[in-house]
Structure 1
C-alpha cells in the first residue's frame, strides 16, 4: 500500500476560520506544555516522562473545544522529534525539539478519519468539530482509495488549504525505455535550459517584475504601528502584512507555474 495526498483550496466561514485559529493555537500550546514537562522531568529524574494532551485539559479547559485527534497528533509529532534527535541510525544530525512560536511556526494541524469523520463531497470537505468546509474539489479520489487523514493549513497570505491523505493499493507498471525518443538538456542562464535541438526554455524574472509593487507595500508597512520591535501590532499593520505576504505568494506561484510549464515543454508531457 502507498499513500497519496490531494491538496484542496478551502473557503471557510468566519466561524470556521475562528475555529481553525483556535485549533492551531491549542496544538501549539499542547506541544509546548509537553516539551516543557519532558525537559523538567529530565532535569529532576534523568528521564523523559511520558505525557499526553489529556493531562492539561483540566488546567486549560479551552483545549476541550478543539479536535482531540489534532492534539493527539501533536503528541506523536513530539515523540517523532525525540526519536529523530537521539537516533543513531540517521546520517543527518537532528536538533533537540524546540518550542513552537506563534509568530514563526507554520499554522497547521492534522486530524484522522474515524468512521467517516473526514469526508469529501462535491463542493465541501467534512472535518471533526468544524463541519462541512467549502472547498474547490478539482480532483476526486478513486472509489477504492481509503481516506486516512486531513491536514489543515493556513498560508502567510491568509488562505486556507486542506491536504487529504489517501491509502491506495500498489500497482506494478512495467515500462520499456524508448531509445528513439531521448532528449539532452543543459543549463542556460537566460532561459533555464537548452535542449539538444536548440530549444530554449523561459525564465522570467518574476521578482523583478513585481519589485516596485512589493517595495511600495513594504514601505507602507514600515510606517504603521507595529513595525517596531516589541510594538503592539495594529489592525492596519496586520492587513498590510497580509498584502505583502500575498505579493510574495504570487511571485512564488508564478515561479512554480513557469517551472511546471517548462517541464511539460521539454519532455512533451500532456495533461490527462
Structure 2
C-alpha cells in the first residue's frame, strides 16, 4: 500500500458538493457517537456498527432525507472510522472518541469505491462529483483502494489516494557493523551521527514567530463572525501551512540523503518518548518545531523501501551517560553539559557524538545477540561468557566495548 497526495482545483459547483460531503460525514460520525453513548448509559452494552448502519438507513428514509444527496459509502466510512476509534481506545492506543467540530482546521471524508483518476485529462472523478481538476504530478500503477478528500485550514483541497501496487519491499541487507551509523536527535543540532557529522536545526517555527504574531494580532482585532475575520483566519493558517511545508520538505531531503543517497545500510536510533517530552513546558515548542517523530517515521518507511535496516534501542538505555571509550557510566548528565571528560579514561567527549556512538554500539549488541545474557552479570564475566556461548568475534563491531556498555547500561 502506498499513498499519493494530489492538489485539487474544484469549481464552485464541485466545491459546494464537497462541502456537503464534509458536513454529512461529520454529522453521521457525531450522531453515531451520541447514539453509542446514550445506548451504553441505558443498557450498559455497546451498540454495534451493524446496528448503527441499520439506524442510519432508516433515518435516511424518515427524518434525514438530505443525507441522500451525498455518497452513501462515505457515510458508512464515517461509521467505520468511529468503530476504529473505539477499538483504538479499548486497546489503549488513543483517547476516548470526541465529537468533530464544524469549524475545525481540517475537514475530510472518504470514498472507498467508484473513484477514477485520469492522468491524460488531469482529473479526479468521485461519486456524485465528476471531473475535478487536479495536479497529478506523480503517476502510479495499481488498484485504487480508498481516496480521502481533505480541505486544509487555508482553504486548499487535496486528494490522498491509497494504492495497492502489489510491489513487495526488498529484503533488508545483512547488518554489517562497518556500514552501521548511530543517529542521535537534538535541539541545538537536529541530527548527529556516530561519524561526527551534525545537521543544524532550521527552527522554522522560531524564525516565523514574528510574522505569525503580526497576523494573529490582526486576527484578534477582527469582529467575531465577520467576513474580515474569516479572511484573516485564513492568512494565519497560511503562515502555519508554510512553516509545516518547509519543515516537511527539510525532513524529506534529510531522510533521502540518509536512506537513498548514502552507502550506509543500517541506522540505529532511540525509541523516544516524545509525548512525555513535550510535557516539559520550557522545551515543548522547540521539540515540536524540530519534529523528531515525523523524521523517524519517514526514515523508517524509506529504509524499508530501499532494503536498509532501522534498529531502535530502548528509551531507557543511558546513551548520554556512558563513555564510549571505556564504558564508564556517569550518575547524572544534565542538558546543560554539552562536553564532558570521563573520570575513568579522561576522554573529552562531545555529548551528542558520544550518544550517537553509544546508540550504534547498543543496537549492534542487541542485533548480534551480545546483550541477551548480560542483564545481571558483572562486566568481566559477561564478556567472556557471551563470547564463548555465542561463538562470536566481538572485535567485528568495534572492539570489546559494546558488551561492556551493554552490561553497564543494565
User: Do they fold alike, i.e. is TM over 0.5?
Assistant: yes
Q: Say which SS state the counterpart of residue 201 (structure 1) adopts.
A: strand
Aligned CA distance change for structure 1 residues 241 and 263 (closer, same or farther; 3 Å): same
Aligned to 1:136: 135
Q: CA deviation at 1:93?
A: 5.9
2:151 aligned with 1:154? yes
Residue number in structure 1 paired with 2:221: 223
Name the residue aligned to 2:233.
241
> SS at 1:171's partner residue?
coil
| Alpha carbons 1:201, 1:262 under 8 Å: kept | no
Aligned to 2:112: 112
Shift of 1:94: 4.4
Asked whether the equivalents of residues 155 and 234 of structure 2 are also in contact (C-alpha less than 8 Å), the reply is yes
- Of 9, 12, 18, the residue aligned with 2:10 is 12
Q: TM-score, normalised by structure 1?
A: 0.83
Moved more, 202-211 or 173-182: 173-182
| Greater helix fraction, Structure 1 or Structure 2 | 2
CA distance in 1, matches of 2:110, 2:230: 26
Separation in 1, partners of 2:86, 2:195: 52
Q: Paired residue for 2:79?
A: 75
Q: What's the TM-score once normalised by structure 2's chain length?
A: 0.57
Aligned equivalents of 1:39 and 1:59: distance in 2? 21
User: Equivalents in 2 of 1:189, 1:72: separation in Å?
Assistant: 44
| Residue 209 (structure 2) aligns with | 211
Contact 2:222–2:228 under 8 Å retained in 1: yes
Matched, 1:61 2:65: yes
CA distance in 1, matches of 2:11, 2:161: 20
Per the TM alignment, residue 129 of structure 1 is displaced from its structure 2 partner at its CA by: 0.7
Q: What is the DSSP-based 3-state SS (H/G/I as helix, E as strand, rest coil) of the residue aligned with 2:38?
A: helix
Q: 1:83 to 1:213 in 2, by over 3 A?
A: closer
Quote the Cα distance in structure 1 between the aligned partners of 2:212 and 2:105: 24
Name structure 2 gaps, 5 residues minimum: 263-301, 307-410
Tell me by how many angstroms 1:239 deviates.
Answer: 0.8
> Would the aligned equivalents of 1:202 and 1:258 in 2 still touch at CA under 8 Å?
no
Give the Cα separation in 2 of the matches to 1:207 and 1:159.
Answer: 21
Q: Per the alignment, do residues 197 and 8 of structure 1 end up closer, same or farther by CA in structure 2, a change over 3 Å counting?
A: same
CA gap of 1:63–1:199, structure 2 versus 1, over 3 A, is same
Q: Which has the higher contact order (CA 8 A, sep 6+)?
A: 1
Q: Secondary structure at the match of 1:240?
A: helix
Q: 1-side partners of 2:227 and 2:16: how far apart?
A: 16
Q: Is the 1:206–1:251 contact (alpha carbons within 8 Å) kept by the matching residues of 2?
A: yes
* Distance in 1, Cα, partners of 2:169 & 2:46: 44
Deviation at 1:95, TM superposition (A): 3.9
Deviation track 1:164-205 (CA, whole Å, cap 9, x = no partner) reads 112232536334347454444444544322334543323222
Q: What are the Cα deviations for residues 104-137 of structure 1, in whole angstroms up to 9, with x where unaligned?
A: 3741111122xxx211112111111111211111
User: What SS does the corresponding residue of 1:51 show, helix, strand or coil?
Assistant: helix
2:163 alignment counterpart: 166
